């Protein structure tokens, strides 16, 4: 927990330690040929569908600090063998942008995983939950609030513009760009949807920086906005969706969350990783049942 100790106050440390969710960290990784690192930790959750095991691991010398994050397994059959609470030891292999665990050994089977489970049961919104009216500031420096998009479906995600890892924020932005293109090809769909990328680096990502970032990604900001706000405002909306992040010098170590909110302001779907595809979300948006008013008032602000 060196990183955490270093940068955040004690109360936050406690929260981050208790709330152990995935943190596919956005931080620089070694490049070049395959690198191997020993990993030791405790299994927090096993996601068979995503073929990942989330491990709360000790510091990986020369690679990353102690944190909780999901790992791919080289041998997916192991997904049936490990359980929440198991102590494991493995080799982390990093090859360019891909990484996985191999030589996984369960050093101690779990006795009582309930303490881990209960810490996992952090409140995250469920489909059907009404999303609060979070307030932010968009790329034009204008105050926005989530409820102003009622009548349109909102697709939102979290990013920060300096993110160096192609498969985290840049991927989210590329995906959104792809989705915007798809939505544009259907005028009525375009009218009743709205995209929002929220920066978790509000100190650096000022409206001006976000505006430039939007332009670099050919975003039509009438429909795809970029927002930040005060640190507190960003924290509130991010925490609501279960997004965790903290600053580590110029980087932000963070998890990923992408949400679809219906035209009625209720959560439709929450994605936790980077494996969703633009087509998948475009199809979800297309299939959403929208209230009649979304059509009749034309949907625009």
By CB under 5 A, name the binding residues for Cu ion.
26, 163, 168-169
Give whichever of 201 and 264 is closer to Cu ion, judged by the CB atom.
201
Q: Which residue is listed with tokens 């990604």?
A: 217
Give whichever of 104 and 169 is closer to Cu ion, judged by the CB atom.
169
Give whichever of 44 and 169 is closer to Cu ion, judged by the CB atom.
169
Q: Within 10 Å of residue 89's Cβ, how many Cβ atoms? A: 16
Give whichever of 136 and 169 is closer to Cu ion, judged by the CB atom.
169
Angle of helix 278-287 versus helix 169-184 axis, rounded to 10 = 50
CB of 209 to Cu ion, least distance (A): 15
CB of 248 to Cu ion, least distance (A): 12
CB of 93 to Cu ion, least distance (A): 22
CB of 94 to Cu ion, least distance (A): 17
Give whichever of 57 and 254 is closer to Cu ion, judged by the CB atom.
254
CB of 142 to Cu ion, least distance (A): 25
Give whichever of 138 and 157 is closer to Cu ion, judged by the CB atom.
157
CB of 258 to Cu ion, least distance (A): 12
Give whichever of 169 and 281 is closer to Cu ion, judged by the CB atom.
169
CA-closest candidate to residue 189, choices 111, 272, 286: 286
CB of 152 to Cu ion, least distance (A): 26
C-alpha distances out from residue 60 to 39, 67, 89, 92, 196, Å: 6, 9, 12, 9, 35
CB of 21 to Cu ion, least distance (A): 15
Give whichever of 22 and 169 is closer to Cu ion, judged by the CB atom.
169
């Amino acid at each position: 927990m060196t990183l955490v100790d270093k940068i955040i106050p004690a109360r936050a440390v406690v929260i981050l330690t208790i709330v152990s969710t995935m943190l596919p960290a956005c931080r620089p990784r070694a490049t070049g040929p395959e690198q191997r690192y020993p990993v030791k930790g405790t299994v927090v959750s096993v996601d068979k569908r995503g073929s990942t095991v989330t491990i709360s691991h000790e510091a990986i010398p020369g690679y990353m600090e102690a944190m909780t994050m999901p790992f791919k397994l080289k041998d997916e059959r192991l997904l049936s063998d490990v359980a929440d609470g198991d102590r494991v030891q493995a080799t982390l292999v990093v090859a360019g942008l891909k990484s996985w665990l191999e030589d996984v050994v369960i050093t101690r089977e779990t006795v009582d995983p309930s303490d881990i489970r209960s810490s996992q049961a952090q409140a995250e919104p469920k489909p059907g939950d009404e999303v609060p009216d979070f307030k932010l500031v968009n790329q034009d420096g204008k105050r926005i609030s989530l409820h102003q998009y009622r009548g349109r479906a909102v697709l939102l995600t979290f990013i920060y513009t300096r993110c160096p890892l192609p498969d985290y924020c840049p991927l989210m932005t590329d995906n959104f760009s792809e989705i915007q293109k798809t939505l544009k090809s259907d005028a009525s769909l375009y009218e009743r949807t709205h995209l929002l990328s929220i920066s978790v680096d509000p100190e650096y990502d000022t409206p001006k920086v976000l505006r430039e970032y939007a332009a670099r990604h050919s975003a039509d900001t009438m429909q795809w906005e970029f927002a930040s706000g005060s640190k507190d405002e960003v924290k509130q909306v991010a925490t609501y969706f279960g997004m965790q992040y903290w600053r580590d010098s110029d980087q932000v170590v963070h998890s990923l969350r992408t949400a679809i909110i219906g035209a009625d302001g209720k959560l439709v779907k929450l994605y936790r990783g980077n494996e969703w595809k633009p087509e998948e979300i475009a199809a979800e948006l297309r299939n959403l049942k929208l209230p009649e008013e979304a059509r009749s008032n034309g949907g625009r602000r």
